[in-house]
Amino acid sequence: MTKPELIRNLALVSHGGAGKTTLAEAMLYLAGAVDRLGRVDEGSATMDYDPEEVRRKVSISTSIAPIRWSDHKVNLIDTPGYFDFVGEVKAGMRVAEAVCVLVDAVAGVEVGTELVWGYAGERDLPCLVFVNKMDRENASFRRTLDGLVQNMGRGIVPLTIPIGAEAGLRGVVDLVARRALVWDGGAQPREAEIPGEMGDEVEAYRAQLVEAAAEGSDELLMKYLEGEELTPDEIWQGLAAGVRQRKVFPVLAGSALRTLGVGPLLDAVVKLVPSPVEAPARAETAAGESVECRADPDAPFAALVFKTTADPYVGRMTLFRVYSGKIHSDSQVFNATRARTERVGQLFFLKGKHQEPTEAVGPGDIGTVAKLQETATGDTLCDQAQPVRLPGIAFPSPVYAVAVSPKARGDEEKISASLARLAEEDPTFRVEKSTATGQMLIYGMGELHLDVIVERLRRKFGVEVNLEPPRVPYRETIRQAVKSEYKHKKQTGGRGQYGHVFLEIEPGDPEKEFEFGERIFGGAVPKQYIPAVEKGVREALQEGVLAGYPVTAVKVTLYDGSYHTVDSSELAFKIAASMAFKKGMAEAKPVLLEPIYRVEVMVPEAFMGDVMGDLNKKRGRILGMEPHGSFQVIRAMVPLAEMFRYAIDLRSITQGRGTFTMEFDHYEEVPAHLAQEIIAQAKAAREAAEK
């Protein structure tokens, strides 16, 4: 077990493609954790091991790997950059004490950079910044730094600056030690003289850095203000304090692809990122009391499950972060979230996909266990004698849906079982069988996300599906009261059929699907047949006369009829009632209804006009708006029919900065011109099916 003081849990975050996985590979190689430098582009990365990641050359899920660096254990948490996998980013950040934000030195600050910066702010996490790809054409440290200062504000200070750039990138200057490090091709640098022409620049940046460090503590500030020189140790100490308070965000430069500048970054991680001991978690006891979970091996065990993977061959893998106490292989643990005891088999440390067995996982560390029965992502595992619950992970809810149908007949059950398994490992993915349309719907964060899910379904579970747009669960109702009569009479060889009803059909309570009543005098319809009449109407309600959608909000009263002593039967009355309803509904001004959703959109002020314009185009009714920090929240009622692709539309309007939620509110009449189209389509579909 590693002493918790010596552990650093660092999440690598950025806009997609800034080089997180490449940086993780460089760190693994440099620390001697792998013999060969893994490459994303060659599909040989330790951290991008999932077949989908290898094929697409982007990270889809969060990977973990520990490295040893100057007697410390650094758990690298490599997260995906694409918005579709934001759930993985949130999970990775939930268990880290700090993040390293990568910025592409060519592209500068991007939308994704701002998003992850915001998430780090929400969680109050210290941040280091790595300006990556300094070797690329058009890379500029200066420009990128200016962009960072402009967007992230105060506290952005360089800790290393590059020597040269683009093809001429040679190394970095370590501003604290005032030394140059030059890479001549290998992973290890050699120390060199600071190039003469960089002297002024180095002193200017160093002065800024020392000032930031001095602000870390009163003692240092005094010394600094009195004009005394701070020692390198004091500078680190001051910076560490500033980083923890999120007053200082040190910036380092380099090229992950060339392992250039990566060693100084790891040195900074070890020196500046708080250890689990310094960042104790809070948990809640069964009695609702808040307690501190100290990273102490002798404290009661408490760990958070932050990721679960499902695989039909390997089974379920549970990744957890220990906050206090320790856990041993071949033991038992209590899941406080589910109030269940779980048997724990062999414990592992993960390095990408490789599992390294361990006897125990101690406080502050990240471990894995296979085949837990009931434990899911977000659960707390703990000591049964002292159960506590750690705060879960705030996953965004899935907002984009498509319908799936089996490619091969008879695969339905396997598909729904496999999708349920996939939903277990991904809290931002949901499956639902729509009772209204009968479709199997899958919900995710975007097209890429669902694409990956469908691919996993094929590869892991061997089933293939077709994707279709979700159908809108339209309904039908009537606007006018009518009376309708129907006599069902059949005289065949033996016993005939006879049922005869008069129905009053009228618009009913909009909140209720159906109300049934009767006003029969003198036994015109005998009592025993009345339930059959109600049943007949109910059956007719399932398929309205307009387009075959369920009928809602109608009231039907049976007020007269006749019967035949021999030929009448329940069946005959059921048929008569059903026919009477259909006939009557056609004359009662039937209309089509559509579901209207209450939608809340949160966007930066600047996009408000565009978002409202788009909602108007989607037949939305704006209810109001209010400020929420630097964002605006727009509330609107929008027909579901217009909302299926909203996740994608909103992302493109706001460049990924907008988010939204929606929930069903009520049904409303479909505007006439659209209703005609829907009715015509339904008719065409019916005719096609009959052929």
Ligand X SMILES: Nc1nc2c(ncn2[C@@H]2O[C@H](COP(=O)(O)OP(=O)(O)O)[C@@H](O)[C@H]2O)c(=O)[nH]1
In the complex, the residues that contact ligand X under the rule CB under 6 A are 14, 16-22, 40-41, 58-59, 81, 132-133, 135-136, 255-257
Does 21 help bind Mg ion (rule: CB under 5 A)? yes
Tokens representing 454 are 């469908």
For the bound state, the minimum distance from the C-beta of residue 264 to Mg ion, rounded and expressed in Å, comes to 22
Of 446, 429, 439, whose CA–CA distance to 465 is shortest?
439
Q: Which residue is nearest to Mg ion (CB)?
A: 59
- The nearer residue to ligand X, 7 or 31, going by C-beta atoms, is 31
How far lies 339's CA from each of 171, 371, 385, 391, in Å? 55, 17, 12, 16
Q: For strands 171-174 and 179-182, give the pairing.
A: antiparallel
Stretch that binds Mg ion, among 17-25, 216-224, 360-368, 485-493 (CB under 5 A): 17-25
Of 195, 174, 192, 194, whose CA–CA distance to 183 is shortest?
192
- The nearer residue to Mg ion, 20 or 488, going by C-beta atoms, is 20
Q: Which residue is nearest to ligand X (CB)?
A: 19
Distance of CA 560 to the CA centre of its chain: 58
Q: Which does 250 bind (CB under 5 to 8 A by kind): Mg ion, ligand X, none?
A: none
Q: Which residue has the tokens 């001991």?
A: 277
- The nearer residue to Mg ion, 21 or 568, going by C-beta atoms, is 21
Q: For strands 554-562 and 514-518, give the pairing.
A: parallel
Tokens representing 419 are 């999708």
For the bound state, the minimum distance from the C-beta of residue 245 to ligand X, rounded and expressed in Å, comes to 28
For the bound state, the minimum distance from the C-beta of residue 129 to ligand X, rounded and expressed in Å, comes to 14
Torsion angle of alpha carbons 476, 479, 485, 486, nearest 10°? -10
Provide the 10 A C-beta neighbour count for residue 651.
Answer: 21
Phi, psi (deg, nearest 5) at residue 438 = 80, -5
- Residue from the set 14, 59, 386, 428 that interacts with Mg ion by CB under 5 A: 59
Based on DSSP, count helices (H) and strands (E) in the chain, helices before strands.
16, 37
Planar angle of CA 118, 247, 194, nearest 5 degrees: 105
For the bound state, the minimum distance from the C-beta of residue 116 to ligand X, rounded and expressed in Å, comes to 11
Q: Which does 120 bind (CB under 5 to 8 A by kind): ligand X, Mg ion, none?
A: none
Tokens representing 381 are 């595992």
Q: Helices 262-272 and 20-30: crossing angle, nearest 10°?
A: 90
Beta carbons of 628 and 602 less than 8 angstroms apart: yes
For the bound state, the minimum distance from the C-beta of residue 76 to Mg ion, rounded and expressed in Å, comes to 12
Tokens representing 54 are 């290898």
* Amino acid at position 356, single letter: E
- The nearer residue to ligand X, 261 or 276, going by C-beta atoms, is 261
Q: Is the dihedral of CA 649, 651, 657, 659 positive or negative?
A: positive
Q: Which does 473 bind (CB under 5 to 8 A by kind): ligand X, Mg ion, none?
A: none
Beta bridge partners of 498: 489, 568
For the bound state, the minimum distance from the C-beta of residue 606 to ligand X, rounded and expressed in Å, comes to 27
Phi, psi (deg, nearest 5) at residue 594 = -130, 150
- The nearer residue to ligand X, 133 or 574, going by C-beta atoms, is 133
Stretch that binds Mg ion, among 58-66, 67-75, 126-134, 400-408 (CB under 5 A): 58-66
- The nearer residue to Mg ion, 89 or 163, going by C-beta atoms, is 89
For the bound state, the minimum distance from the C-beta of residue 110 to ligand X, rounded and expressed in Å, comes to 11
Report the distance separating Cα 668 and Cα 670, nearest Å.
6
- The nearer residue to ligand X, 136 or 618, going by C-beta atoms, is 136
- The nearer residue to ligand X, 17 or 147, going by C-beta atoms, is 17
For the bound state, the minimum distance from the C-beta of residue 39 to ligand X, rounded and expressed in Å, comes to 7
- The nearer residue to Mg ion, 40 or 440, going by C-beta atoms, is 40
- The nearer residue to ligand X, 102 or 601, going by C-beta atoms, is 102
For the bound state, the minimum distance from the C-beta of residue 550 to ligand X, rounded and expressed in Å, comes to 47
- The nearer residue to ligand X, 134 or 678, going by C-beta atoms, is 134
For the bound state, the minimum distance from the C-beta of residue 172 to ligand X, rounded and expressed in Å, comes to 13
Number of residues this chain uses to bind Mg ion (CB under 5 A):
3
For the bound state, the minimum distance from the C-beta of residue 33 to ligand X, rounded and expressed in Å, comes to 17
Q: For strands 430-433 and 497-507, give the pairing.
A: unpaired
Stretch that binds Mg ion, among 56-64, 234-242, 570-578, 593-601 (CB under 5 A): 56-64
Report the distance separating Cα 378 and Cα 95, nearest Å.
11
Distance of CA 172 to the CA centre of its chain: 37
Q: Is the dihedral of CA 357, 361, 367, 368 positive or negative?
A: positive
Give the binding site for Mg ion (CB under 5 A). 20-21, 59
